Chain A
């Protein structure tokens, strides 16, 4: 047979008959990489490359175009085309890593889950981790080593390094992002040994530095604060968003929600107090929330410390201190609560606050006996002495003074993120040789003489420590898409002037961790993703000598805060963080948990502040235009749309970093406003007095939720824990369901014949616990990753056509309009047994399956949108344009983003309706595997997990078979707080909710 005939022909979505990526991959198959087949590692790479090309061709079903694909010549081990393979790895984020399990398909990583064995995630994830696959397949990632504007080869860079760094006496400045990688730290030490005149400084724009320094002030040592939120009965958060934007958010939420879970009236729940200037996710879940200006929080804390010092030892510095908060109602209540729960409480302050605040917090926790019980203080191996921000400023000044012959900037992007008064770009100019390693040809890379493209963590070897010190491995899932260098490979090249694979570098490091039977340990580590039994040592802390005097001095300097001054609080963003995720479409399109704004950053202000500035303090329904304001701090000015949000402290403006990029990537560019110009060495995160005026301009905002009041409807049902104990069935009792004959039964009257469900089929159901749900949106983005949901862009979201299959509704409630309570409610498809959508579809495109799913047949759908109209829950999403085609086939190399798609899920064409399927592809896989292994039709409880359920860090989502009366879901559905949203419509939803509980302090009612 001729060569031609041996080819397999696949149908594919891709319009390009001649697929560039495939050609590249097949070229690589033999000639280029053939030599690497000798060692075991690269055999796998080979599989992955091949897998990628297979998967490319297999991408989804659609019409006409045909792609050619080569079959595998040798069937690789374990790989069954169409079946997923899972590998453990970790995601580095600042100076810690999160343990992950990555699902790969034919060599492509397509979905990320938490590693259940890993304490940093315990099987769940946050939005950044979920979005990491798209980060990998970001087409705007840097693809080449650049010398100036010219592409250079790795060999050229290697030669350059060998020559440039031959002189070991030269003065080199190393500016690095934070990293916990033992290999990186080993190489760093080697670098510092080899270049005695080198200076190494970490530049992490939003590090935990203040907390470390605070602990140093209090305990004499830079220690990491490790909270055990599950152990705490009372938690006081001072601007601390431990649920979302802290360094250990997933574990924090896990622990917090466990202490919050209430299964029966006997259970207790913790109590969370929040004192903050803007709504954080944490504050939105607080039982009591006080809004004060950020500048007042130190005062509040000092007043609290003063009150506590009357009863406990260790806070002598604060004794007799008084300020404007000393008589505040909260102080006495909190003091009583904290004193009653000594050893079972946590006080935490946000990273926005300075080290003195953190020192006070540390002292309070120590005084309350929380250190060692609810809080562990961990010794970090990689901690740098001194204030890193100051050191960075110092190094920048020296750069500008021409003191260095070369500068190496790794991972971090100081031209964008450094304080504006440092003029980092100018300083960089003064250095003869500058080398940059980064994912994107971003702000810094463009100004450097050499740019080396950096690998994504999913395509390179690496390692790191989790927040609490579990030594973890980062293993590649795929050959680097764009042939980049990992940070360890890069650093090694600088050090030795030659290329060594990351694999070898990491193994070399790990040999010291397991000198005996290294290969066995290594195999176990690769399998588990972590080394068993490792963690940072917890230190038994005591107050540092001189703390009392120092704190007393600080107190002496504290001045009252001008209530009327307009303060500006600058925070990291919940989607793009400090800007590093700005080119990720999933994250850009993800609504912020509080504002529900996508594709923008805004200046959050209170209604009173809006009136002060002279802009409307409320919006009409349907009016998505924001008034722009001009913020002037020092000599820097930024114009940004203002957004009135209840709960914001008066005279306090909150803005987030990371937006307003130029030349960073196609997604990021031009989105939002860059506020880094307002960041100075003195004011990294905060300006106490800024000038604000309205510009008169209006700006269109894409928000996914236009109305924030529940209008008194029983959608989210809540009660205090006391009310619940008095009336356990308060939630179902809130609404009378006509025709309900006995407790818990559903209405027996219906116009339509109820469907008969076969006995041997499982019946799927879901329950969402509103009590543990924190509203973080991890479910939304997990669903997006799992179900190939397209990114549609700001214009379409502005037209209110977002495609997310599970949205999180956020309502404000309570009597205080200026400081309301917040309710978060995830809403996926309810899979109603008497689904209103099914009754109105003229072509039977949406029907019920035997296992109780309300299913969409995309091929049959003609797009009348009647089903979406008739859905009381409004969960159906319509492809108004050919979103998927636009998303997956525009640009010169759409193959890259196509690789992120899940081959199990059909890609939807223009003009069809789509919605949550309960992850039917996972259900089917579970059923098939169960059938094959046990010959049963019903998968065992816990076999099938939906993507949202798996991602949820709060374990708020449960899913399972309702015919199994012992299953988790059946038990939850029998819970007395379980209720059906809009159950009175007799839609008989399969998704139910567990009512929210609050634990208010009776003294504050």
Chain B
């Protein structure tokens, strides 16, 4: 009857022979060192792509939305697809920082700063599209409830208006949350850097942080409160984005499953994007000790779970289309899989449903190469998911006589490509000038932070299995 339980401790979150000092040095040295050559190249390319974005958007504004491939049936095309895609990507940040924080997931500390930055830049990319896709961009501010002498208000039933609020709120809270988390690290940077201007700038943003006990206490409280505030936003923003579709009357859009399905899809694509960026940054900056294979595995598990949820949603859509018995809806879904856009549908299914299933295998989950490839595949799939939803539903809705096939133009493609310029420009600036890992937080999950910590080596050895001891050191 007696069974011998063996204590199997969680793998260490920070690998290698690190103490607080070495972690600080590892992170804070990056902005202080000379700018690497690859950074200049990457930044140059990003800038050119950003210039391309400005060019095509200017062209769009001068010429009109007709430069895109939209038509009488498909009033929305790539612009809205891109918007939803970028907003979806922007999901991972807040999920990692707020929800995982509330659930006390220590491993989030390695990637949260990173993911939050990505969120903010992704939401910026997303935000461009609703603004530029309107016909008369010069009056786009009418979407906001600005008091005016005509007593004209927005139309509060419109999901587009909800979008404005949802995305606006999400961006604001994400930015705030990110900044609050950055304050102690800015102070560290302020103390480390040599340059006068750098010191001043970091000092300015660190808001006079001294690391005092009272400050930490207030900081922890406010961080907790912000996390509490941000957590529902993770669910709300993509729920409301999904309302753009779900509230409408168009078969293929008018679906109650959309809110959870969109949130799952957003987390799915967000984690995939974090994964892509993390694997690159980790390699380039040698952060393998902080962003370990264990982290990669955990993220891959989330990708697997959310990917399967998305797959389940796809199946449920079909089931409900059949079960609901509405002929237009039935047609919409069968047409997706077999109609003129079937190619997009099957790319989507392959990328989103089939590809994450590789992560059932531990070897793949822990493989850097596999994770990198699949993370990109997932985001391709998620882009196609939005394309399938937006375009196939519009192109062939109720009245066959009014159907029209949507084909994007070169401008559509260039606008999408251009947003990567915006994203990477900001992201590279972030990598260059900001502590890309939350130094203060990661120290909190190191063994040294445990009040009972006594002797560094012994505890570390205890925490590791016998085999892993060596590998950890060799890194």
- Chain A residues close to B by CB (< 8 Å): 620-623, 705-713, 715, 752, 796, 799-802, 807, 809-811, 825, 827, 836, 838-844, 860-866, 868-870, 872-874, 877-882, 909-913, 982, 985, 987
Contact = CB atoms under 8 A, between A and B. Distances in A.
A706 B244 CA distance: 27
Contact of B397 (A710, A860, A872): A872
Nearest to B160: A842
Contacts of B154: 842-844
B134 interface: yes
Contacts of A838: 155
A985 B249 CA distance: 8
A992 to B, nearest CB: 15
Given A840-B247, A869-B394, A982-B398, A878 B135 contact: yes
B402 A874 contact: yes
Contacts of B394: 869
A862 B142 contact: yes
B63 A844 contact: no
A861 B397 CA distance: 24
Chain A interface mostly = loop
Given A709-B400, A864-B134, 8 more contacts: A621-B403, A796-B66, A809-B399, A843-B142, A863-B135, A869-B248, A878-B135, A910-B135
A765 B394 CA distance: 28
A621 B157 contact: no
B363 interface: no
Closest 5 CB pairs of A and B: A863-B135, A911-B135, A622-B405, A809-B401, A880-B66
B75 A827 contact: no
7 contacts: A623-B405, A712-B327, A752-B157, A840-B159, A863-B65, A865-B75, A866-B158
A712 B328 CA distance: 10
Contact of B152 (A623, A860, A866, A911): A860
B340 A620 contact: yes
Interface string B133-160: 1111101101100000000111101111
B13 to A, nearest CB: 45
Contact of B71 (A715, A799, A841, A873): A799
Nearest to B401: A809
A841 B155 contact: yes
Nearest to B251: A872
B23 to A, nearest CB: 48
B64 interface: yes
B331 interface: yes
Contact of A842 (B74, B135, B158, B250): B158
A413 B136 CA distance: 47
B313 interface: no
Interface in B66-87: 66, 69-76
Interface in B209-262: 244, 247-250
Contacts of B340: 620-622
A800 B66 contact: no
A620 B157 CA distance: 38
Interface in B248-282: 248-250
A132 B393 CA distance: 40
A918 B239 CA distance: 38
Nearest to B163: A842
A625 to B, nearest CB: 12
A713 B249 contact: no
A419 to B, nearest CB: 39
B444 to A, nearest CB: 44
A801 B71 contact: yes
B148 to A, nearest CB: 12
B398 A873 contact: yes
Interface in B378-406: 394, 396-405
A868 B155 contact: no
B161 interface: yes
B65 A911 contact: yes
Chain B interface mostly = loop
A862 to B, nearest CB: 5
A444 B154 CA distance: 60
Contact of A878 (B69, B75, B143, B327): B75
Contacts of A987: 249
Given A842-B160, A844-B152, A910-B64, A862 B401 contact: no
Contact of B72 (A801, A860, A911): A801
B64 A843 contact: no
Contacts of B463: none
Contacts of B339: 621
B164 interface: yes
Contact of B249 (A799, A861, A863, A870): A870
A709 B396 CA distance: 12
B161 A842 contact: yes
B35 interface: no
A711 B402 contact: no
Contacts of A711: 331, 400
A843 B72 contact: no
Contact of B160 (A800, A866, A873, A878): A866
Interface string B106-136: 0000000000000000000000000001111
Interface string B327-371: 110010000000110000000000000000000000000000000
B407 interface: yes
A861 B136 contact: yes
Contacts of A713: 327-328, 398-400
A881 B63 contact: yes
B248 A827 contact: no
B157 A706 contact: no
Contacts of B137: 911
A987 B76 CA distance: 22
Contacts of A982: 398-399
Contacts of B63: 881
B402 A880 contact: no
Contacts of A913: 135
A864 B160 contact: yes
Contacts of B402: 705, 807, 809, 827, 873-874
B64 A874 contact: no
Nearest to B409: A799
Contacts of A799: 66, 69, 71
A252 B403 CA distance: 33
Contact of B401 (A620, A811, A860, A868): A811
Given A861-B135, A863-B134, A872 B407 contact: no
B143 A825 contact: no
B66 A877 contact: no
A282 B327 CA distance: 33
A710 B400 contact: yes
A159 B145 CA distance: 73
Residue of B65, B249, B394, B407 contacting most chain A CB atoms (<10 Å):
B249
A800 B68 CA distance: 12
A606 B186 CA distance: 75
Contacts of B327: 712-713
Given A705-B401, A706-B405, A874-B397, A844 B136 contact: no
B76 A869 contact: yes
Nearest to A624: B405
Given A840-B160, A842-B158, A862-B139, A881 B405 contact: no
Residue of B136, B137, B250, B397 contacting most chain A CB atoms (<10 Å):
B136
Nearest to B142: A843
A633 B430 CA distance: 73
Nearest to A846: B155
Contacts of A710: 400-401
A708 B403 CA distance: 10
Contacts of A843: 142-143, 154-155
Contacts of B328: 713
B274 to A, nearest CB: 31
Contacts of A866: 75-76, 158, 160, 244, 248
Given A711-B331, A715-B399, A862 B71 contact: no
B135 A706 contact: no
A707 B400 contact: yes
